[in-house]
Amino acid sequence: MTNPPLSDHSTIGELEAAGANVTAICRSCGTAASVNLRTMRLSFGAATPLRRIALRIACTGCGAADCSVHVTDSRDD
Ligand SMILES: [Zn+2]
């Protein structure tokens, strides 16, 4: 039995449980920021797919709500 690979289709709960690291990168200015999964879970709920949250994240650099998200699966370490 293997776990499914983590991606932006994974839910916040899955990513947090796996200890994944999520980085949001602004498509407009390139600012990268780490995403706090606990905060996201409290705001949006554990069953919310990451890709939906990506649409809601505003860039800390320029304020554009146009970020791509990248998942780093710490289980690979
Ligand atoms: Zn930006």
> Mind listing the pLDDT tens digit of every residue in the chain (77 residues)?
566 788 889 999 999 999 999 999 999 999 999 999 999 999 999 999 998 988 888 898 999 988 999 998 766 55
The domain of 34 spans 12-76
Q: Is residue 70 part of a domain?
A: yes
Distance CA 38, CA 54 (A): 15
Domain count, the chain: 1
Would you state the pLDDT for residue 77?
Answer: 55
Ligand 1 mean position, distance from CA 3 (Å): 33
Ligand 1 mean position, distance from CA 9 (Å): 23
The helix (H) or strand (E) run that includes residue 68 is strand 67-72
Would you state the pLDDT for residue 16?
Answer: 95
* Tokens found for residue 33: 């920021």
Q: Is residue 3 part of a domain?
A: no
Q: Is residue 36 part of a domain?
A: yes
Would you state the pLDDT for residue 5?
Answer: 83
Q: Is residue 5 part of a domain?
A: no
Task: Give the count of beta carbons closer than 10 Å to the beta carbon of residue 40.
Answer: 20
Q: Is residue 31 part of a domain?
A: yes
Q: What are the CA-CA distances from residue 73 to residues 57, 60, 76 (Å)? A: 20, 24, 6
Ligand 1 mean position, distance from CA 14 (Å): 27
Q: Is residue 42 part of a domain?
A: yes
pTM metric for this prediction? 0.81
